[in-house]
Amino acid sequence: SIVPNPFQPRREFKPEELADLENSIAENGLLQPLVVRPAQGAKNKFELVAGERRLRSVSRLGWSDVSVIVREVDDTTLLVLALVENIQRQNLSPLEEARGYKTHSDQFGLSQEEIATAVGRSRPTVANMLRLLGLPASVRRLLEEGSLSAGHARALLAVEDPVRAGDLGRRAAREGWSVREMETQVRLMEKGGGDGAGGSTRGKRPRPHPVTDPVRHSLEDALRGILGTRVLLRSGRSGSGRISIPFSDSEEFERIFEILAGDPPSKFID
């Protein structure tokens, strides 16, 4: 009878965390009831307000019924409660939290000050979290994977070129930079126009020939942001053309391949 929270900000539930909670509930019972609200337009159905991990765990245990608290809450309150529960438990990744704030803003028209008050954060904290959504896709992926922290990501916001930001992010993750070291490398890049490492460690990437058509130029920029590398669109006659995607090493090739194909290269090799 319980259906998922449509505004659940958390997307990743680690199997090991669920296994620990499942074992605890099996041993000690469900100590804290789930919080639900009546589902609109559905008889005898309830939308989950708080307790996603507990619901998943008791479902895996095969329980047919659980204790719940039924509350009458509107959509805005539902989102706030889901966010607050996850924030208090430190269950949300930085991007999940940022997307939750963006839903507050886009769907319910709340200001950053109103969002901050609702979830018990400061307005600058909410503003900085929302800025993370503007990072290049390659950096957001590293942040989502846990390879970079929110502090690393905030430092990269100062890098306007998405390709350079992606390069710095991957190097920071690979070499285990601290946030302070990331900030230093970003400052070096801004001062010298280099790669943020006090000098280039690779040959400089070729500068693509500019696209004169503004529409194609926008599409080229979009592809650069998605792939986190240089992309060059060349136009031919009758609408034909070519998309060039250079890569610097095998690691970058595998990363780009997985973005395009949806799976790593190893899946396609016998």
Question: 181 vs 43, 168, 200, 257, CA distance in Å?
Answer: 56, 11, 17, 30
In this structure, what is the dihedral angle of CA atoms 77, 82, 85, 86, given to the nearest 10 degrees? -150
Q: Which of 52, 97, 220, 252 is catalytic?
A: 52
16 catalytic? Reply is no
Contact partners, residue 255, CB within 8 Å, separation at least 6:
138, 170, 228
In 3D space, the residue among 165, 207, 206 whose CA is nearest the CA of residue 186 turns out to be: 165
In 3D space, the residue among 106, 99, 57, 100 whose CA is nearest the CA of residue 82 turns out to be: 100
The catalytic site residues sit at: 52
